[in-house]
Amino acid sequence: MAGSLLVNGLRTLFFVLGSAMVVTLIYTISVDGLPFRMDVLTPWMTATLIDFYINVVPLVAWVSYKESNWISSTVWIILLICFGSIATSFYIFVQFIKLSPEEALQDPIYHVLLQHSNKDSTKQKEKHSPVAILRILFSFLGCFMLGTLIYTIVTDGSPFRKELFTPWMTATLIDFYINVVALSVWVAYKEANWISAFLWIILLICLGSIITCAYIVRELFQITCQDPVYLILVKREDR
């Protein structure tokens, strides 16, 4: 019963979030035109876009792993890059729709996260696992975003100014935080207790992709360089 309620709740959540972002996008275009203008790219908008797309990287990696062929994987990745949280929300919604009744009752998030071929299988060591490369990549991305944040504060001041909240900045922030919701669900699932989950989610909300990268790097150091990367998706006891 709990599993079924969780599945229905998450299906509804991501369908509503995706729909809300569609409405936000249409409304913003109608009142402020298309975003492909130089006046839209203020320093803080640029920093927000960098933050947004760094958060898209782990979502792209997950979709690449989940999809069984390169054509569907490429299509979804293009949608993620072009439509952001709209694609994220509807992709997750579709994954919950695909769950069998047994999977929905057992451990729905586990079954959504993992590719079917990796479920209930014995962990195998890999000679060329990209764990070490991903540790370096996400460490770099986290440091890059931290540098971007510091530079933007030094050169353009505080982001908490009324004139910064243009229609496109507001839409971008909504887009950004819907992706944060998706990452927060993953963090809440993975953490052993609600206190640590709550703290990580607060940090995600406040510091965005800096914390996303730090969390992923932490998880990558919980497995060896010969382990398959997909192990970081699930709880430690399920590895």
Least Cα distance to 207 among 155, 146, 153, 157 occurs for: 146
| Burial track 153-180 (b if 16+ CB lie within 10 A, e otherwise) | eeeeeeeeeeebebbbbebbebbbbbbb
User: Is 222 a residue whose pLDDT tops 80?
Assistant: yes
Give the residue ranges of DSSP H helices in the chain.
2-32, 43-66, 70-83, 85-97, 101-106, 108-113, 131-156, 167-190, 194-207, 209-220
pLDDT tens by residue, 7-17: 999 999 999 99
- Quick one: three-class SS letters along 135-191? HHHHHHHHHHHHHHHHHHHHHHCCCCCHHHCCHHHHHHHHHHHHHHHHHHHHHHHHC
Least Cα distance to 58 among 190, 198, 225, 152 occurs for: 190
More confident residue, 238 or 210: 210
Chain centroid to Cα 98, Å, comes to 20
Determine the Cα–Cα distance for residues 114 and 69; give it in Å rounded to an integer: 15
Q: Domain of residue 169: give its range.
A: 2-238
In the predicted model, what is the mean pLDDT of residues 65-90?
A: 95
What is the per-residue pLDDT for 128? 67
| Burial track 121-149 (b if 16+ CB lie within 10 A, e otherwise) | eeeeeeeebebeebbebbeebbeebeebb
Determine the Cα–Cα distance for residues 36 and 130; give it in Å rounded to an integer: 36
| Position 2 confidence tier, pLDDT thresholds 50, 70, 90 | low
Determine the Cα–Cα distance for residues 235 and 239; give it in Å rounded to an integer: 7
* Cβ atoms of 234 and 114 closer than 8 Å: yes
pLDDT tens by residue, 185-196: 999 999 989 999
- pTM for the model stands at 0.92
Least Cα distance to 175 among 76, 88, 72, 46 occurs for: 88
In the predicted model, what is the mean pLDDT of residues 106-126?
A: 76
User: Is 122 a residue whose pLDDT tops 60?
Assistant: no
More confident residue, 3 or 226: 226
State how many domains the chain has: 1
User: Is 121 a residue whose pLDDT tops 60?
Assistant: no
User: Is 36 a residue whose pLDDT tops 90?
Assistant: no
pLDDT tens by residue, 147-182: 999 999 999 999 999 999 999 999 999 999 999 999
What is the per-residue pLDDT for 119? 63
In the predicted model, what is the mean pLDDT of residues 216-234?
A: 94
